[in-house]
Amino acid sequence: MTNPNNLSARAIQTTGRYLVLLPRGQANAGIMSLRNSTGTSEIDDSAVSNIGVAVVALDPDQLQSLNAAVAGPEPILAAEPEQIMYAIATSAIGTVAPEQQLTTAAFSDGATTWGLQATKVFSSQYTGAGVKVAVLDTGLDLNHPDFSGRNITHTSFITGESVQDLQGHGTHCIGTSCGPLSPPDPSSPMRYGVAHNAEIFVGKVLSNEGSGADGGILAGIDWAISNGCQIISMSLGAPTRLGTPYSPIYEEVAKRALSQGTLIIAAAGNESSRPGFSNPVGRPANCPSIMAVAALDGQLQIAAFSNSSMNPEGGGIDITGPGVAVYSTWSTDALTVSPPNGLGPSRYQTIAGTSMATPHVAGIAALYAEATGTRGMELWAVLMQNAQRLPLPSVDVGIGLVQAPV
């Protein structure tokens, strides 16, 4: 059953532009056909080189010509409206619902977060060395002491905004996936990061207000592939409804990424309100070739907000990660969330969401990439094969809880 209140709060928003899928290996011919069929010369080709997606603004007549080209013999495979995506909503632990503030005492050792214990990261011999992890989000606090000395490559796909994270969400996700083994900041009491030796690639595809268009996200995916990233972590998306099909363009992009050795991992979304309402997996995690991540709490129960496998065509949960009471880095420049203690800017936050579960899976994927040398679809299979089965419905948790190699 869906919750109309959650969905109406964030209706589908489009930009007036269109995503256009071109054949692999025929980008130049596709761009030329796009120009000829629509008469437009203003084509954003920043996501063309690896994944073959162009973005164009079209008037109604040009759109009609584009649709005719898709249906005809021209080298244009698909087109769809460009949508706005969002950082998957999170909550400071002081404001999450009481039923979500479940004890994590079963995993508490005082030295590592409960999520790293539940996923066996704390006992893994692997570090992510030699693996490149791209996090496409709101950026990173480049001044955070916990990332000092790390090999970080970054770029912003948001016009007029630097990669510096003024929202906080991206810094939190990067901390979980790639944070340090021993945080240098004495105010941090425990280890929270998974792949502490991985090479970090920061793509700012969401603005400081937490939103961004498909074009920038796809350009970020293309950039990550160009840089040889084996893993792309995306704690972003937009809600879907029952019967909403997955995007054929994102699906083809994910297939093309996998064929080039890049696994895309994305948050399933937070639109549910259990036990009363469950909502379908959001876009683009609902694509079959994108690994969709649900969230568990500290008692290894499905989080109240975590979405479910409800749409018959795509939209399935693949795997789960820790997503409630997740402690990680935060940007001291963040403008949107104040620390629960009210003491001013904080370098750390404890928050909840499928956004928090996703970087756990991405970081552990980096550990397996180091341990096994697998890439793309083979890396996907290794993650699934080694997950911990749970006594919960597969529509909610997929194969189970992600586990690190030991």
CATH no. for residue 321? 3.40.50.200
Query: Where do we find the tokens 């592939």?
Result: 225
In a domain, 405, yes or no: no
Characterise 314 by phi-psi region: left (phi > 0), alpha (psi -120 to 50), beta (else): left
> pLDDT tens digit string along 201-250?
999 999 999 999 999 999 999 999 999 999 999 999 999 999 989 999 99
For the ranges 65-69, 127-131, 376-380, which has the lowest average pLDDT?
65-69
In a domain, 386, yes or no: yes
Domain co-membership, 60 together with 208: no
Both ends of the chain: CA-CA distance in Å?
40
Domain co-membership, 242 together with 119: yes
- What is the tally of structural domains in the chain? 2
Neighbours of 7 (CB within 10 A): 17
> pLDDT tens digit string along 47-77?
999 999 999 999 999 999 999 999 888 789 9
Domain co-membership, 50 together with 174: no
Domain co-membership, 66 together with 185: no
Q: At what angle do helices 27-38 and 60-71 cross, to 10 degrees?
A: 130
Domain co-membership, 40 together with 90: no
Domain co-membership, 217 together with 321: yes
Q: Can you tell me the mean pLDDT for 274-287?
A: 94
In a domain, 402, yes or no: no
- 279 in Cβ contact with 309 (< 8 Å): no
What pLDDT, on the 0 to 100 scale, is given for residue 91? 55
Separation CA 384–CA 46 (nearest Å)? 33
Q: What is the DSSP letter of 141?
A: -
Point out the domain boundary residue: 66, 83, 100.
83
Domain co-membership, 58 together with 149: no
- 288-to-160, 255, 259, 281, 341 alpha-carbon distances in Å: 34, 9, 14, 11, 41
Domain co-membership, 248 together with 333: yes
Task: Give residue 345's pLDDT band: very low, low, confident or very high (50, 70, 90).
Answer: low
In a domain, 207, yes or no: yes
Strands of the 91-92 sheet, one edge to the other = 91-92, 348-352, 326-329
Task: Give residue 38's pLDDT band: very low, low, confident or very high (50, 70, 90).
Answer: very high
In a domain, 368, yes or no: yes
Task: Give residue 340's pLDDT band: very low, low, confident or very high (50, 70, 90).
Answer: very low
Angle at 35 between CA 213 and CA 227, to 5 degrees: 50
Mean pLDDT, all residues of the chain: 90
What pLDDT, on the 0 to 100 scale, is given for residue 155? 98
Q: Can you tell me the mean pLDDT for 76-102?
A: 68
CATH code for position 19? 3.30.70
Domain co-membership, 64 together with 18: yes
Domain co-membership, 254 together with 178: yes
In a domain, 259, yes or no: yes
Percent of the chain with pLDDT over 70: 90
Task: Give residue 131's pLDDT band: very low, low, confident or very high (50, 70, 90).
Answer: very high
In a domain, 217, yes or no: yes
> pLDDT tens digit string along 134-185?
999 999 999 999 999 999 999 999 999 999 999 999 999 999 999 999 998 7
What is the residue range of 376's domain? 86-397
Separation CA 187–CA 173 (nearest Å)? 19
Does residue 366 sit in helix, strand or coil? Answer: helix
Separation CA 312–CA 353 (nearest Å)? 24
Which of the residues are catalytic?
137, 169, 355
In a domain, 309, yes or no: yes
Task: Give residue 280's pLDDT band: very low, low, confident or very high (50, 70, 90).
Answer: very high
Point out the domain boundary residue: 57, 83, 109.
83
Domain co-membership, 134 together with 270: yes
- 137-to-41, 101, 125, 238 alpha-carbon distances in Å: 30, 26, 28, 14
Task: Give residue 90's pLDDT band: very low, low, confident or very high (50, 70, 90).
Answer: low
Q: At what angle do helices 376-385 and 248-259 cross, to 10 degrees?
A: 100
Point out the domain boundary residue: 68, 83, 98.
83
Domain co-membership, 73 together with 146: no
